[in-house]
Amino acid sequence: MDSRTLKVETGSRLITDVTRQVTDACHGRGDGLVNLFLPHATCGLALIETGSGTEDDLSAILDDVLPPVDRYRHRHGSTGHGRDHVLPAFISPSLSIPVLGGEPQLGTWQSIVIVDTNTDNRTRTLRISFLAG
Q: Which amino acid is at 59?
A: S
- Provide the 3-class DSSP secondary structure of residue 83: helix
Residue 61 CB-half CA count within 13 A? 10
Measured in degrees and rounded to the nearest 5, phi and psi for residue 92 equal: -60, 145
Q: CATH class for domain 2-132?
A: mainly beta
pTM over cut 0.85 = yes
Q: What is the mean pLDDT of the chain?
A: 94
What is the per-residue pLDDT across 71-116, written as a single tens digit (0 to 9) for each?
Answer: 888 778 787 788 999 999 999 999 999 999 999 999 999 999 999 9
Give 73's DSSP letter.
S
